[in-house]
Chain A
């Protein structure tokens, strides 16, 4: 059953469109990431759900209830702010009690809930401290405990990890996911960090300029991006523009540069004549000269990425292709200028919806 439902949600500021026709259903207990660059409308969407921004049109439903016009303080939706927004003049305990008092929870139950959420986030000994006396990670936990104490129907996260250092961020990802599973609460997590979205979410909603570009599991989003925007925003991709010529058993994709790529016809979505083809750099491998269908080229640039090497290969056709190769024992690192042959499995190619098609399905 869909727990949170957004239906044709729109937000305009004068002539500028911040959010356009967002349709989304989040199931109970699901963890969904709203992913996109700054200005894509993800925070506006979140703030509309929290009740801080009135939508221009559309509907927000929590379970069976329409909450579109409910004031913020009457939605049982917990929001964890980017800067935590802990009340600086209150202790950890008072911060957590604040919401319980606003909801007129009796004092015995208040004590019990404060105790249990503090135990849940592992801060039982810190309840008399003030926020400024806590580390960033601890403040984050208090912010989480503060909303969890209210047993919210829905948890919203507004880039909550962006103020933490890299190591702590990775740790908090697992921590937040653990807590969310333990409590069984539905969660919507706004982030611009693709890695965060990939590692944490059950499903990812990619937003591009106020609209949903794609919804899917992390694997779907990565392996089967639907648009060039998604393929580009999440990970790295090589793009080829060209036309598809059907044949059997493999069709031919002919690029503007004259390069021809073999493609299994079943992966072509429509009978698109003009299209964009994407291939991930790690799906490309270096092969020896005898391999059929391989393409000759020369390495123009070799870059260290740590456990991986990134090569920029210029093909005979003039196309430049990025190749990622895992460093392995006894495999020497290649140098710029080296002549190579590259190949990939035709099934790893992805056809992308062109921007034109995207604007077509608006109608």
Chain B
């Protein structure tokens, strides 16, 4: 009788299954990122292209040139503003979602997920229609004489915040919802049984349990804003520059890949540090 192992050898099988994926990551992620790091240390001369030297001048240019430093801070500030907006709007919605049951939850869940199924380009296009000088918002406000002249909503930071907030809000809602769902309902019953009332229950039970979700939601929205390219490009045009739009500009319009790579690497590092910090936070929380 032919001997056939009941399972492939234990140690090798998972690696065999992972092999295609690891190869893909090696060729299309690790390799390119390493190359990006190398290119960010090269020189560039218009007309000649990249000069294969080792230098840090691309980084020093980005960090010390006031123009680029303003973009760096502007990007982070935008991230903070969008995060604040999403937290403000996301928490009540997540709270309602986590309390809803059955069909109501299904519908609510779907309403929050639906935007994620629609491409960012399409949603931003919708905001362009709404926010323009002759757009719906200004049109309506003017008609009811709430304003005398159109508000400037397009081609400035306000518009970007409004549109990006909408684009990223589902991530905030879903992560807060996840942590709120993890609260054992008997905690609420126990608290009420011990005589605690609404606000006290909220601050002593709901909020502490929601914290991991709030943190991960904030990180997702903040990094989402740092990485956002489509919405700032379409809403702000050439007026407002953020890191991702200047990376694109350097790479595609000016063809200065080394400088673009340096900015890209900085952005990548900022996001990795954020994720690492969150991971550290959640590990410590779990440990305590």
Using a CB–CB distance below 8 Å, which chain A residues touch chain B? 51, 71-74
Binary CB contact string for chain B from 35 to 47 against chain A (1 if under 8 A, 0 otherwise): 0000000000000
CA–CA, A74 and B3, complex, Å: 9
- B5 near A: Cβ within 8 Å? yes
Q: List 5 A-B pairs, minimum CB-CB distance, nearest first.
A: A71-B6, A72-B6, A73-B6, A71-B5, A51-B6
**What's the Cα separation between A71 and B2 when bound, in Å?**
12
Judge if B15 is at the interface, Cβ distance under 8 Å.
no
Query: Interface code B1-35, partner A: CB below 8 Å = 1, 0 otherwise?
Result: 10111100000000000000000000000000000
Residues from chain A with a CB closer than 8 A to the CB of B6 are 51, 71-74
A71 and B6 alpha carbons, distance in the complex (Å):
5
7 new A-B pairs (CB below 8 Å) besides A51-B6, A74-B1? A71-B3, A71-B4, A71-B5, A71-B6, A72-B6, A73-B6, A74-B6
A73 proximity list for chain B (CB < 8 A): 6
Residues of B within 8 A of A72 (CB): 6
A73 to B4, CA, bound (A): 9
Interface size on B, residues (CB 8 A): 5
Set of chain B residues within 8 Å of A74, measured between Cβ atoms:
1, 6
Chain B interfacial positions (CB closer than 8 Å to A): 1, 3-6
A-B contact count (CB 8 A): 9
Interface hub of B1, B3, B5, B6 (most chain A Cβ within 10 A): B6
A51 CA / B5 CA spacing, docked (Å): 11
Q: How far is B116's CA from A223's CA once the two chains are assembled, in angstroms?
A: 69
Write out the residue numbers on chain A whose beta carbons fall within 8 Å of the beta carbon of B5. Answer: 71
Rounded to whole angstroms, the CA-CA distance of A74 and B1 in the bound complex is: 10
Q: How far, in Å, is A311 (CB) from chain B's closest CB?
A: 38
8 residue pairs A–B, Cβ–Cβ below 8 Å: A51-B6, A71-B3, A71-B4, A71-B5, A71-B6, A72-B6, A74-B1, A74-B6
* Majority-rule SS of B interface residues: loop
- Closest B residue to A51 by beta carbon equals B6
Please, which residue of chain A has its CB at the minimum distance from the CB of B6?
A71
| Least CB distance, B13 to chain A, in whole angstroms | 14
Distance in angstroms between the alpha carbons of A73 and B5 in the assembled complex:
9
Hey, which chain A residues are within 8 Å of B1, CB to CB?
74
Contacts of B4 in A (CB 8 A): 71
Report B-chain residues with C-beta under 8 Å of the C-beta of A51: 6
Q: How far is the CB of B3 from chain A (nearest CB, A)?
A: 8
- Complex CA gap A74/B5 in Å reads 10
- Min C-beta distance of B4 to chain A, whole Å: 7
Which residue in chain B gives the minimum CB-CB distance to A71?
Answer: B6
Chain B nearest CB from A310 CB (Å) reads 34
CB-CB nearest in chain B for A73: B6
Q: Please, how many angstroms separate the alpha-carbon atoms of A74 and B6 in the complex?
A: 8
Query: Which chain A residue lies CB-closest to B7?
Result: A71
B3 / chain A contacts, CB cutoff of 8 Å: 71
Interchain nearest-CB distance for A170 vs B (Å): 33
Once the chains are docked, how many angstroms separate the CA of A196 from the CA of B244? 69
- CA–CA, A299 and B163, complex, Å: 80
What distance in Å separates the Cβ of A233 from its nearest Cβ neighbour in chain B? Answer: 33
Give Cα A90–Cα B6 distance, bound, in whole angstroms: 22
Contacts of A71 in B (CB 8 A): 3-6
Q: Which residue of B lies closest to A72 (CB)?
A: B6
Q: How far is the CB of B288 from chain A (nearest CB, A)?
A: 28
A292 to B4, CA, bound (A): 73
Least CB distance from A265 to B in Å reads 56
- Minimal Cβ-Cβ distance residue in A for B3: A71
Bound CA–CA A71/B4 (angstroms): 8
Q: How far is the CA of A101 from the CA of B280 in the complex (A)?
A: 52
Closest approach, in angstroms, between the C-beta of A65 and any C-beta of chain B?
A: 12
Nearest CB in chain B: distance from A191 CB, A: 27
Give the CA-CA distance A73 to B3 in the complex, in Å. Answer: 11
Within the complex, the shortest CB–CB distance from A47 to chain B, in Å, comes to: 13
Q: What separation, in Å, do the CA atoms of A72 and B5 have in the docked complex?
A: 9
Give the Cβ gap from B7 to chain A, nearest Cβ, in Å. 8
Using CB atoms, name the residue of chain A closest to B4: A71
Provide the bound-state CA to CA distance between A72 and B4, in Å: 11
- Minimum CB–CB distance for A26 against chain B, Å: 24
**Distance in Å: Cβ of B180 to nearest Cβ of chain A:** 31
Closest chain B CB from A99 CB (angstroms): 15
CB distance from A69 to the nearest CB of B (A): 10
A51, B1: Cα distance in complex, Å: 18
Complex-state Cα separation, A193 to B1, whole angstroms: 41
Instruction: Give bound CA distance, A279 to B3, whole Å.
Output: 55
Rounded to whole Å, the gap between the CB of A159 and the closest CB of chain B is 23
Bound together, the chains give a CA A73 to CA B7 distance in angstroms of 10
Chain A: CB-nearest residue to B5? A71
